[in-house]
Amino acid sequence: MKGESTSPRSTGSPPPAGADLSPSALAARNSQAGPHKCSRINPSTGKPCNTIFSRPYDLTRHEDTIHNNRKEKAKCPMCREEKTFSRTDALTRHMRVVHPEVENFGKRARKGESF
C-alpha cells in the first residue's frame, strides 16, 4: 500500500545499553566498573582506609591526595587555626564559602588583565 514501509517497526524503546558495542569494547567498559577499594593504611588509625569508589580515576585521585605524605598541603591564609587542604580546589571552595570577603581568590588574571 501507498505510504507503508516494509521494514520492521520500532517498539519505541531504546536498545539495551551497550547493544551497539563490540564484545571487546563491552569488556573494556566493564573493567572500569566498581567498586574500587582503597587498601592503603590510614596513618592516623594504622588500619586500612577501605574507602570505596565507583571509578578507578576517583581511587587514584584519592590515593594521590589523601595518602601522599610528600605532597605539600594548601593552607588557608585567613583561618587562625591551621586549616589545610590536600587539593587546591578544596581551598578555593573554602575561601569562597567561609571567606567571601576575599575577592578573586584562586582566579588567574587573563593575559593583559589585572585584578
Q: Is residue 83 part of a domain?
A: yes
Q: Are residues 77 and 64 in the same domain?
A: no
Q: What is the pLDDT of residues 8-52, one digit of tens each?
A: 444 454 444 445 556 665 455 555 677 899 999 877 678 899 999
Enter the pTM of the model.
0.48
What pLDDT score was predicted for residue 107?
72
Q: Are residues 81 and 100 in the same domain?
A: yes
Q: Are residues 77 and 66 in the same domain?
A: no
Helix, strand, coil in percent for the chain, rounding step 5: 25, 10, 65
- Phi first, then psi, for residue 25 (nearest 5°) are -70, -40
Could you give the number of structural domains in the chain? 2
Q: Are residues 35 and 52 in the same domain?
A: yes
- C-alpha to C-alpha distance for 4 and 9, rounded to whole angstroms: 11
Could you tell me the residue range of the domain that residue 50 belongs to?
31-71
Q: What is the pLDDT of residues 47-103, one digit of tens each?
A: 899 999 999 999 999 988 888 877 788 899 999 888 988 888 999 999 999 999 988
Q: Are residues 58 and 85 in the same domain?
A: no
